[in-house]
Amino acid sequence: MLFTPLTLPNGAVVPNRLAKAAMEETLADAGQLPGPRIQRLYQRWAEGGAGLLITGNVMVDRRALTGPGTIALEAGTPLAPFTAWARAARAHGAQVWMQISHPGRQVMANMGGLAWAPSAVALDLGKHSKMFAQPVAMTAADIAEVIERFAATAHAAAQAGFTGVQIHAAHGYLISQFLSPLTNRRDDAWGGSLAHRARLLLEVVRAVRARVAPGFCVAVKLNSADFQRGGFSEDDAKQVLAMLNAERVDLVELSGGSYESPAMQGRTADGRTLAREAYFLEFARELTAVARMPLMTTGGIARRAIAEQVLQSGVAIVGIGTALAAVPDLPRQWQAGREPVARMPAVAWQDKALTSLAQMALVRRRLHALAKGGGALAAYSPVVTLVLDQLRGLRLTRRYRSWSRAASTQRG
């Protein structure tokens, strides 16, 4: 069952039911462009046998990045580096989708970029809150610009040879911020009722679909819940999914959480306990009764038996993230009857924000090792890894700010 093809609503075929879910690689070369390192990384995953490869965040606005190593693609960005990236990722027949995103308020303060948000509600990470920029409530013109940017980035991705895009509407990024009543306190046509809060997502989907060919895949990543009291709920997710049924969406990936409630790492802010593996399967199972398009779920899946359980529940595609950082050819190994241990070391510090940062740093360090041609999984120290990651971030931030100033001068 794991290795049977899936035909999507637009007629495109995914060769099997295993997807490499998005992980933020932070491997941008100068100018926030993809280069040889990310090509090598995706070549590893292409050889590894997954039927669908979804990239890490590619930002629709160079002024608003999740981090200084993030790739950005706008109208007018040179396409040759993206074409080389797509070619490497598609070399073994997989569908290759670019995840396109805007971080909204989840922008680091030292980056000096835009922190647009539906409302001026700052991130609450306790003593670490000052790491993030103070958000600014968007105007109607800002919203129109963001919709156009998503469409332009999708069009450029298609031109570069990607076979689809995934619109990121989860994990507390901009579209997710509009969906949540905690972060969207507007009283205009973009806030208030769920229909108004979902308007940005629907407008982005329509704008993207209008700009690409029918055979180009358009997917959405949606939270099954925010796992914050008073936030975007399971019932909200069910209603938004019903709204997406009326759009030409080829796949919806169900995830959960945000920077404030990192459910995608297995931890929640509202005290709910997630499954040890396939964190969001319980929610996805309920939503299969609503969805007319195929569903995918991601979160803590590292064993073949769990992947098969996901498919048996009615979910069409199994999303695998960290396990494919640990073992990049995991699908091929499963197909050959092998069951390697595909887990990264866990971090269990008392400080939840630092724990989340360290966990992400460990995954990034592994991805960078794979991009350099590394093989065996090393036992990295979380403390050392976090320090190295922060130092690298500072260096890349200096590079980004210098490039951003020069780019602004040229455009001005």
Q: Domains of the chain: which residue ranges?
A: 6-344
Superfamily of 6-344 according to CATH: Aldolase class I (3.20.20.70)
Backbone angles phi, psi at 150, to 5 degrees: -60, -45
Q: Stretch 367-381: mean pLDDT, rounded?
A: 87
Quick one: pLDDT at residue 229? 62
CA pair distance 208, 165, nearest whole angstrom: 9
Residue 171 or residue 156, greater confidence: 156
Q: Stretch 217-227: mean pLDDT, rounded?
A: 82
Quick one: pLDDT at residue 257? 59
For residue 252, the SS3 value is strand
20-73 pLDDT, tens digit per residue, is 999 999 999 999 999 999 999 999 999 999 999 999 999 999 999 999 999 999
Quick one: pLDDT at residue 123? 78
Whether residue 319 has pLDDT greater than 80: yes
Tokens 């890349």 locate to: 396
Quick one: pLDDT at residue 45? 97
Residue 357: CA count within 13 A, CB half-sphere? 20
Residue 157: CA count within 13 A, CB half-sphere? 35
Contact yes or no for 348/382 (Cβ under 8 A):
no
CA pair distance 195, 310, nearest whole angstrom: 30
Across the chain, mean pLDDT equals 89
Quick one: pLDDT at residue 275? 47
Residue 301 or residue 99, greater confidence: 99
Quick one: pLDDT at residue 201? 98
Quick one: pLDDT at residue 405? 86
Q: What is the pTM of this model?
A: 0.93
For residue 72, the SS3 value is strand
